[in-house]
Amino acid sequence: MATSPKLTLRSGTQLADPAKYRRIVGSLQYLAFTRPDISYAVNRLSQFMHQPSTDHWTAMKRVLRYLAGTLDHGILLKRGINRSLHAYTDTDWAGDSNDYVSTNGYIVYLGQHPISWSSKKQRSIAKSSTEAEYQSVATTSTELNWICSLLKELGVSFTTPPVIYCDNIGIKFSPGNSVVHVSTKDQLADAFTKPVSRAAFTNFSTKIGVTKVPSS
């Protein structure tokens, strides 16, 4: 998505017939299950389903153009024995100018392969960036616990406990916290929470595991 201007409920002129916008964004929601690189854009566009405007329509077409140029991209799963489980989590504190609710983002890896990701607004307004990050870490922990339980039922065991990477300093120095600090430049969940520049987005897509898949 474009970094500016920010999409809001009041931007643009309301569409006379919003049905087509809703159908396309609904389809993109399914596609985001296998294309983590569009997770934030789809999450953002979905917030205007009840009142889409011309600006929202333009932003949606931008996503379609990106997908048209990356039809041969996806997640390439490779055979391996790395069974480590780790996740990156990030938050855009009060980034939504409509209601000032923060946006959570996380991506979970089994070895080098992304297996779960999310871009979603929080349920309440956080009073500080650290509070917002705590909510994001809690959400990610819940997802990791569910994945661990599922893999255990499938007979997959782990030699080391799951790790969550977060770039918030407040989280890093909180007592009794096992979350591992990572620098902002290495935070793979950053583009799940906000629009970033074209160069940053390209770098993000490659790092999270969305690449050109060899033809079969």
For the chain, what are the domain ranges? Answer: 19-71, 75-212
Say if pTM beats, i.e. exceeds, 0.95.
no
| pLDDT, mean of each 10-residue run, the chain (216 residues) | 90 95 97 96 96 97 97 88 89 88 95 94 90 92 94 88 88 67 91 93 93 82
Q: Write the CA distances from 98 to 47, 48, 70, integer angstroms.
A: 11, 11, 32
CB 57 within 8 A of CB 11: no
- pLDDT value for 159: 78
> Under CATH, which architecture does the 75-212 domain have?
2-Layer Sandwich (3.30)
Q: Which of 27, 100, 20 is nearest to 54 (CA)?
A: 20
Euclidean distance between CA atoms 61 and 2, whole angstroms: 12
- pLDDT value for 95: 85
Q: Which of 23, 44, 42, 46 is nearest to 32 (CA)?
A: 42
Q: Which of 3, 58, 63 is nearest to 31 (CA)?
A: 63
DSSP secondary structure, 51-92, as one string: S-BHHHHHHHHHHHHHHHTTTTEEE---------EEEEEEEE
Residue 186 identity: D
- pLDDT value for 83: 81
